[in-house]
Amino acid sequence: MIPLARFLTFIRFSHTVFALPFALGAMVVAADGFPGWRIFGLILLCMVFARTAAMTFNRVADWEIDKRNPRTAGRHQLIGRAVAITTCLVSALLFIASAAFINPICFLLSPVALALVFFYSLTKRFTHAAQFFLGLALSAAPVGAWLAVTGSFAWPPIILAAGVLCWVAGFDMIYATQDEEADRREGLRSMVVWLGVPGALRLAGLLHLLMLIGLIAFGLSAHLGKIYFAGLLPVPFLLLYEHRIARTLDLALINKAFFETNALIGAIFVAVTAADRLLR
């Protein structure tokens, strides 16, 4: 029996805090409040199962590469490869089953969502735009949550998805600075490998500016009010702090700032979105 703590470390379960707040924020806006426990629970299940499937697929795809990277060399010791493959398959099936209980469009699009999150793990083998594919994978979360509530597409979740794409691509470029040497040695591609660390950090800064514009545009398109826009005020300062830490090239500080800053941004977003909708 695999200890739960080791399994959660293997899939980096704590990083669920990046996509989940934007899914929940889109859910609240789509429902104009709380959508009920059934939809809320099914959205949570879909998020957990999709991310577990994606992370275990990523670990299996990069199994040998991770063994040669000092930062990730211990991952394969947490659980066996056969367990990881089984977990990926079971999680993927449970994701599709959970989507089927929501509505027909979520069920029909669930294999597309899985293909998207699985494809990201392969992109660094052939394109420097890998960080953008990660952003695209996570940007599906608010669109999926909106579809779960309404069963139809709309502009607000698409605008929010664009903001999430820019945010994730930007912070993953910062995170990837830790692996520049290992990626070059393995012949892998990323914006850090292509542009170098200084160039990638400048691009990450531009993407985070676009993310802020996306959050503002989402608020306008969703007719959110003063609570939402006032609540976003700390976000640019948190991003500035993250970029200031990134420029130090201190890997320990980057890792800490990466998780804490972006987790806080997600928490602020869902809190002010929910407050604006529920306290009107």
Domains of the chain: 4-278 (1.10.357.140)
Count of CB atoms situated within 10 Å of the CB of 237: 9
**pTM for the structure as a whole:** 0.93
Residue 90 C-alpha from the chain's centroid: 21
- Averaged confidence pLDDT in the chain: 90
Give me the sign of the Cα torsion angle 104, 108, 111, 114. Answer: negative
Q: What is the pLDDT of residues 2-52, one digit of tens each?
A: 566 665 566 565 566 678 999 999 999 999 999 999 999 999 999 999 999
Extract the runs of DSSP E, i.e. beta strands, from the chain. Answer: none
Q: Which residue spans within 34-76 are E strands per DSSP?
A: none
pLDDT in tens, 63-105: 888 788 877 777 666 778 888 899 999 999 999 999 999 999 9
Measured distance CA(222)–CA(142) in Å, rounded: 13
